[in-house]
Every structure is written in C-alpha cells, then in structure tokens.
Amino acid sequence: MKIDNLKKTTLFFIPFLILPVLLHSCKDPKPEPVELDYYVQHYEPLDEIIFNPERGHYTHRGTANQNAAPISVSALETVRNFHKVSLVLTIYYLGEFMEGAISDQMIGIIEQNMTNLRETGLKCIVRFAYKSNVNDEPWDPSPDIVLQHIEQLTPVLQQNSDVIALAEAGFIGVWGEWYYTSSFGYPEADWPLRKQVIDAWMEALPQNRMIMVRTPKYKTNLFNITLADYLNETEAYSGIPKARIGHHNDCFLASHNDYGTYSNIYAEKDYLEMDTRFVCMGGETCNPSVYCECDNALTETARFHWSYLNKDYHTGVLNIWEDGNCYQDIIMRLGYRFLLDSTTVNKNLSPGSAITLRIAMKNDGYAAPFNPREAELILEHADGNTYVLPIQHDPRFWLPGEINLSIEAGLPIDAPLGDYTVYLHLPDPEPLLRGNPFYSIRCSNTGIWDEDRGYNKLIGFTLTNNEESVMYNGDKLFTLMPR
C-alpha cells in the first residue's frame, strides 16, 4: 500500500520535474555575435564656439570718410583667430558725396577692405549710409544721387561678391536704417522711392546674394505682399525678388515690439518665423530689458532662425546672457551647427563596385546656410590618391533638425587596393575661395577636422579584390582629383 502511494506521489511530481527542462530546451539559444556587413563610425559632439563661415558673431568696422584707413590684415586675423569671428559688418558713410559722385579714394578703400577680407578668410555684411547722427541734417541725398551711387558701386560689389556674405539695404536714413530720412518719406514712407533702391541693389549684386531690410513691414510693403506670403520651399533660392530679401533687427529683444521693429506684433512674428527658414536673419541687440532674459532669448533666436549677431553691442544684453549661462549656447547655435552622429559604409568593396554611405547628422543651429554651398565626398587612399564625388544635396535646405544622407556611387575601376579614408567637404563654390579651408564648413565634432584642407573625416574602409562585391553600373562615379 505504501509502495502504491509512493508511485502515485512520484507520478504526480514527474511533470513538474520535467517541465523546467522542457521549457529550458524550448528557449532560443544564446545569440552569437553577428559580424556586420558594413563599417560604422560614431562621433562625439564638440561643445565650444568654433570658427565657421557666414554665421555667428560679427564685428563692426565703420568707415567714416574717404580719409579712413582700410581694415588691416592683422586686425582681421585677430577677430578670426582669437574671437572665432567670420563676419565683419562694414558700414561706409558717404556723407561727403551728398551732391555728387563717390571719390576714387573711397572706392579704393572699399576694394582694399574686400582684398584684406579674402586674404584672411572672412566675409563682410556690407551697408552704406550717409549720416550717423540724428542731429546732422539732411540725413540723406536725393533719390537720384542714391541711385547714381549704387550704379557707381556696382563694379566693385560684383567683382568682390565672393566675400560679400550679404548686404543690408542701407542708403536711406541715419545709419542706413530707413527711419529718419530726408528724401524717402518720413514719418510716412514713400514706398515707390524706396523700392527703386531695392531694385538697384538687386542689379548691383549677383542673384545669389540677399539684401536685408530692417522690419517685416518693409518687405511686405516693398513687394505688395501680405503676411501670409512668406517664402515656401519651392520659392526658396529661386532668385525671385522676395526670395532675395532677408531681415535684420537692430534692436532685438529691446522691448515688447523691439523698439518699433514690429507694428502688428503677433502676425508679423508669425510671418517672420516662417520667412526666415529660407532667408537670412541677423542684427544686434540695443537695450537691456526683461525680454533679454535667457529663456526668452533662447526662444526668440531659435524661432526666427538667427544667423549673425553683433559681438560687441549691446554689452548690457550680452552680460545678461553671461549671467544666465546662455551666452555660449546662443553663440554656438547662430546659423547652422552640423553635428555628425554616425556614418556607415558597406564592406566587400572592390575596384568598380558599388559603395553605399549613410550619414546621420543633425543641424543643432538656428538656421541653414543662406548662401550657395557645395557638398562632396572625398576618398583618400593611403598612398595619397584622392577621388571626389559631388553629392546631390543642397545644404541651404538642411534646416534645424535631423539630416540623413544616403549616397550610392561607383568606385573607380582602377582604384588601388588598400585602406581609404572618407571625408565630407562643404566648400564655398566661389572659384577664389573654394580651396581655402577658412571658407569650408566644419562639423561640430571632436577629432574629425582637417584644418589644412577644410575636410570633415567620416570613416575608413579597406578595398580588396572581393568576389562578393556588387559591381556598379550607374552614372554616379568617384573621379580622380589632380594632385
């Protein structure tokens, strides 16, 4: 009887003893490491202010008259190397020429400044005005004289447009800010006369350069558009007039309406938020106020896609940012700030095979580049052979946020075997600037910048005679660069 009970008890427990064994045997085996079929590289961000073209802080250099000295090369090198500044606001005061032509001497100063900017790897924001004192009337000459001056300046502007980042409309009113004016309607603006100045500016500069106006109302009135007519992606950089007109605010955060910058505050701010996705926004602060506090300053600079800001004025506002620990964040994010996250490239590469690169990055800045910018990949062999591929992406559309590039191309059939390094190159397309690393965009990551050539190092790979390679038969091919 005891034996029968034991059997029953044993039979009762057997399923519970076996079940864990069965369950364990049904589990997936421990996964083995999988060898990826691509190389991958990740990057660390660089959290500091760096020099980059056509963005960031600017320094102001005024030329008061025809006897002024040109901006020295040494002064420009200092702002580049010490202050990490790539932009110089050059304001030329033409008060001596209110009744006639600009002198050759003044034209010579402008030409020399442009030459010195090019030599030092910088660009200018150019503006012309006649008076810098409200008490010195008349504030500007007749419209005919202004148009004559723009026509006279056109050759020097076009010959040096490569180092002109953009123009502020100027010419009208004290400081060229279009308010206190003797000849163009004050206090009620004469829009047809002012439009003549803008039209003359558009003829004086190449189609790919923008002219900045002081308030949103100026742009809408000049082109007879409404606040619903902000630029869209199709119109952007098309060369149509409104695509060439940007915005500069020279009393940013000074008051609830930025000292008269806005007249219909909420509607004009909504317009500006959308329009500045595809035209440049910049200027300076002019008065400490409660609106300058960090929370609001960070919001407004991001909302309106700020690209450039005076580094010296207003010091009271800049001190508020320093005390609030947002100064560096604002300056780092003016304009574009490209942060690489990762790059992958397929393995099993042979001469003539297809190479696929995927670049994950983001624009952590406030805006995209506003002037034409080339984008290309560079392959460099360990022996120095170098190949280039232009990529069909326009960095002016790399707006704040995630950016994912996928590029498939063909390797040269005669490419030597061995180790290669891939670089991202974002050069200025202007012929005299293209090979200058100061005019190439640097990504904000550690350990990737080739300062001698202006290249961003992405990833390495090895080229072998691999039978598993997929041969490329498309028309996007890396081509050999001259040594």
Q: What average pLDDT values come out for the chain (483 residues) when binned by 10 residues?
A: 42 42 45 71 97 98 97 98 97 98 98 98 98 97 98 98 98 97 97 98 98 98 98 97 98 98 98 98 98 98 98 97 98 98 96 97 98 98 95 96 98 97 98 97 98 98 92 96 80
Inter-residue contact 85 to 56 (CB < 8 Å): yes
Q: What is the pLDDT of residue 483?
A: 65
Query: Which residues are CB-neighbours of 454 under 8 A, at least 6 positions away?
Result: 425, 427, 436, 437, 438, 439, 440, 442
| Main-chain dihedrals φ then ψ at residue 95, nearest 5 degrees | -60, -25
Q: What is the pLDDT of residue 31?
A: 53
Q: What is the pLDDT of residue 33?
A: 52
Pair type for strands 123-129 and 87-93: parallel
Pair type for strands 455-463 and 418-425: antiparallel
Q: What is the pLDDT of residue 12?
A: 42
Q: What is the pLDDT of residue 32?
A: 52
Q: Which two tokens stand for residue 271?
A: 């317009």
Q: What angle do CA 390, 393, 394 make, to 5 degrees?
A: 110
Distances (CA, A) of 407 to 192, 325, 350, 441: 49, 40, 17, 20
Domains of the chain (ranges, CATH numbers): 39-48+338-480 (2.60.40.10), 56-333 (3.20.20)
Q: Round to whole Å and give the CA distance between 166 and 209.
A: 6
Positive or negative: CA dihedral 115, 117, 121, 124:
negative
Q: Round to whole Å and give the CA distance between 174 and 182.
A: 9
Q: What is the pLDDT of residue 338?
A: 98
Nearest CA to 379 out of 403, 343, 404 is that of: 343
Inter-residue contact 53 to 439 (CB < 8 Å): yes
Q: Round to whole Å and give the CA distance between 346 and 402.
A: 22
Q: What is the pLDDT of residue 467?
A: 86
Q: Round to whole Å and give the CA distance between 152 and 479.
A: 44
Q: What is the pLDDT of residue 482?
A: 82
Burial of 165 (0-12, 13-18, 19+ CB in 10 A): buried
Q: Round to whole Å and give the CA distance between 261 and 286.
A: 12
Q: Round to whole Å and give the CA distance between 417 and 464.
A: 5
DSSP single-letter state for residue 161: G
Cα atoms found within 13 Å of the Cα of residue 213, Cβ hemisphere only: 25
| Main-chain dihedrals φ then ψ at residue 219, nearest 5 degrees | -65, -45
Q: What is the pLDDT of residue 69?
A: 97
